[in-house]
Copies of this chain bind each other. A is one copy, B any other.
Amino acid sequence: MNLLLISIGLGLLAIVYGVITSSQVLGASPGNARMQEIAAAIQEGAQAYLNRQYTTIAIVGVVVAAVVAFALGSVPAIGFIAGAVLSGVAGYIGMNISVRANVRTAEAASTSLQAGLTLAFRAGAITGMLVAGLALLAIAVFFYVLVGPMGMSPSDRVVIDGLVGLAFGASLISIFARLGGGIFTKAADVGADLVGKVEAGIPEDDPRNPAVIADNVGDNVGDCAGMAADLFETYVVTVGATMVLTALLLTQLGDLLLPLMALPLLIGGACIVTSILGTYFVRLGGGTNVMGAMYKGFIVTAVTSIPLIWIVTQFALGSVGMDMNTVINPDQGMVEFTGRSLFYCALLGLVITGLIIWITEYYTGTKFRPVRSIAKASETGHGTNVIQGLAISLESTALPTLVIAAGIVIAYQLAGLMGIAYAATAMLALAGMVVALDAYGPVTDNAGGIAEMAGLDDSVREKTDLLDAVGNTTKAVTKGYAIGSAGLGALVLFAAYTTDLTVFFPAFRDGDLANGEVSFSLENPYVIVGLFLGALLPYLFGAMGMTAVGRAAGDVVIDVRDQFRENPGIMAGTSKPDYARTVDLVTKAAIKEMIIPSLLPVLTPIVVYFVITAIAGQDNGFAALGALLLGVIVGGLFVALSMTAGGGAWDNAKKYIEDGNHGGKGSEAHKAAVTGDTVGDPYKDTAGPAVNPMIKITNIVALLLLATLAHGAA
């Protein structure tokens, strides 16, 4: 019990950090009246969008909660609600800080680059710590209440179903928020660019463009709130799945079970401490190397996490009188492990995180071959820019896949399935720091927009541009990291599925293939069918997301054209455009467009199970459903990696040209690079990142389906 209380305390530490840092950020000067006016418009638009988005999600959520309560009882339903609400809270608060920090960053950047960096990064760190802290608290408090005050056994079915319910709540919010926010931000961005830059010939962030506020709102609701919900979900699902797997697999451990289920939470708590520590090391040290400053913070966090993870592991095992070398010999012919081997797997998770960051920077940074090759290809036109960008996006999947494959092999060799779970958990434990790096992006992006619109001195815009330049890379990093962890997490979720199957339907898992045993072998054609259908999901989902952005962006174009025509004073600069009208339009479009694609991964597993069961029996229904889960990850990993890295590379190729290479701004190469950037937008900010929650939802729905079928059968 003490272990859980410690985890809860560490989770609260993140909240305390958030509160203190918020007061620091909000205490900074919000600039002049014009800046505040613009910021207020962004705040208002973002607030209006999130209110409407969460209202819509709430309606879906209440229905789903009722279904969960009916099918599985009150505890999973309460878990579902807790996961959903806290995910919403993390995004909501993060965005509220972000829309207030943007104007303050613009103001701070007018004094020095370091001042701007400090303010923007702190704002990001608040979101980061809230995501990690609230996610940790959600699981730890929920688990504590069930096994403490309510006196349940850690391996009680209600506890397991409750944790799955919690994860489902977080996932469902996440897919809506990622997709809705992603459609909003890119529809506004693409629409504003098309009609502003291309048709009207006015620069980006020009206050005469009616879509300019919507564009800035989009940065917050997509890149901040949407991303926060995504990482909250990834955290809850990964740590939750590790605990569920522990409870399901290690049924013979007795007293050791509670400490082993608490250990992922302790690792999460330890890394909150090191993440907070790391934030204080994000400093320029005199130069202008913003990415270097970020790395300093990340490295401090990662390195100090190593001893702390060792200490908490030792502490957890010590609580039941074991040391790091005591062999834990689980039942069911599983691989043996020790505290030491789990520690090595956690270390592996940190290494994988570092490698994925490094690979992502290689593919999206302006210093390396990939981005430069796209910039060079822009010289020969739009077509070759896009061809090279697509080639890079395909290529960028290779190294992360090799890292993940090697990670699976090494973790499994060290400690079996538990090892893979611990590697994934350690990856996610760093979420506080990784989200901080990412949430910093929209703040600086907005700050630049505000500086432009408020007509601040060019030197301010230069500084915000410098701060913003690393934003493409850090955004790509977070997405690569989230989807990479999903690559490991998928195995954990699949193991939870197969183990659950054994628990609920032992007759299908008696080892006697001739007698209806479920065969997950690739030799079973229904497994192949499941893999195909699973791999199809991210493609179809991506197509829907891309089309939605195109459609909504078209609406923006029409609205802006109408405003220009109805009110000629806008272009003359004598009257203000109706920003709110465009924001409202994008809001409605994004909400409308997010529903159908989000339901795809919820309904597909159910349909596939029932259709295959009807045709080929329940054993093959279970087999096809299991294969579907892995098909989604096999297909989704590549779609998501290629889209997020490719989009980042296109964006930075444009930036690289704007820095004066290949003819610089206004050249033919630059025009081609703008096309590439536009193509990359929905790739990297709408379709690609939403694949991650989509993978999780599919898996969690399958787990809930199993539990529901078991209730029905009993």
In this assembly, does A679 line the interface, its C-beta being within 8 Å of a C-beta of chain B? Answer: yes
Number of interface residues of A (CB under 8 A): 84
In this assembly, does A664 line the interface, its C-beta being within 8 Å of a C-beta of chain B? Answer: no
Against B, the Cβ 8 Å flags (1 = close, 0 = not) of A367-410 are: 00000000001001111101110111011011001101100110
Does B527 lie within 8 Å of A522, measured CB to CB? yes
Residues A388 and B554 in contact in the complex (CB < 8 Å), given A412-B525, A627-B522, A679-B383: no
Q: How far is the CB of A629 from chain B (nearest CB, A)?
A: 9
Which listed residue (B392, B498, B528, B675) contacts A491, Cβ 8 A? B528
Inter-chain contacts of A522 with B (CB < 8 A) = 494, 520-522, 527, 626-627, 630
Copies of this chain, tallied across the complex: 2
Q: How far is the CB of A593 from chain B (nearest CB, A)?
A: 13
Residues A546 and B394 in contact in the complex (CB < 8 Å), given A382-B675, A523-B520, A531-B634: yes
In this assembly, does A526 line the interface, its C-beta being within 8 Å of a C-beta of chain B? Answer: yes
Inter-chain contacts of A616 with B (CB < 8 A) = 409, 413
Residues A394 and B539 in contact in the complex (CB < 8 Å), given A384-B550, A401-B532, A547-B388: yes
In this assembly, does A172 line the interface, its C-beta being within 8 Å of a C-beta of chain B? Answer: no
Inter-chain contacts of A675 with B (CB < 8 A) = 381-383, 386, 675
Q: Which of A194, A409, A519, A616 has the most CB of B within 10 A?
A: A409
How far, in angstroms, from A383 to B402 measured CA to CA in the complex? 32
In this assembly, does A234 line the interface, its C-beta being within 8 Å of a C-beta of chain B? Answer: no
Q: How far is the CB of A537 from chain B (nearest CB, A)?
A: 10
Does A638 lie within 8 Å of B535, measured CB to CB? yes
Does A557 lie within 8 Å of B487, measured CB to CB? no
Secondary structure of the A contact surface, majority rule: helix
Against B, the Cβ 8 Å flags (1 = close, 0 = not) of A683-698 are: 1000000000000000
Against B, the Cβ 8 Å flags (1 = close, 0 = not) of A529-567 are: 101110110011011101101100110010000000000
How far, in angstroms, from A540 to B274 measured CA to CA in the complex? 37
How far, in angstroms, from A533 to B408 measured CA to CA in the complex? 12
In this assembly, does A222 line the interface, its C-beta being within 8 Å of a C-beta of chain B? Answer: no
Does A533 lie within 8 Å of B401, measured CB to CB? yes
Does B637 lie within 8 Å of A638, measured CB to CB? no
Residues of A within 8 A of B (CB): 190, 193-194, 198, 333, 377, 380-384, 386-388, 390-392, 394-395, 397-398, 401-402, 404-405, 408-409, 412-413, 417, 420, 487, 490-491, 494-495, 498, 514, 519-523, 525-529, 531-533, 535-536, 539-540, 542-544, 546-547, 549-550, 553-554, 557, 612, 615-616, 626-627, 630-631, 634-635, 637-638, 642, 674-675, 677-679, 682-683
- In the A-B complex, list the 6 residue pairs whose CB atoms are closest, starting with the nearest: A383-B678, A395-B543, A391-B546, A394-B543, A382-B675, A520-B522
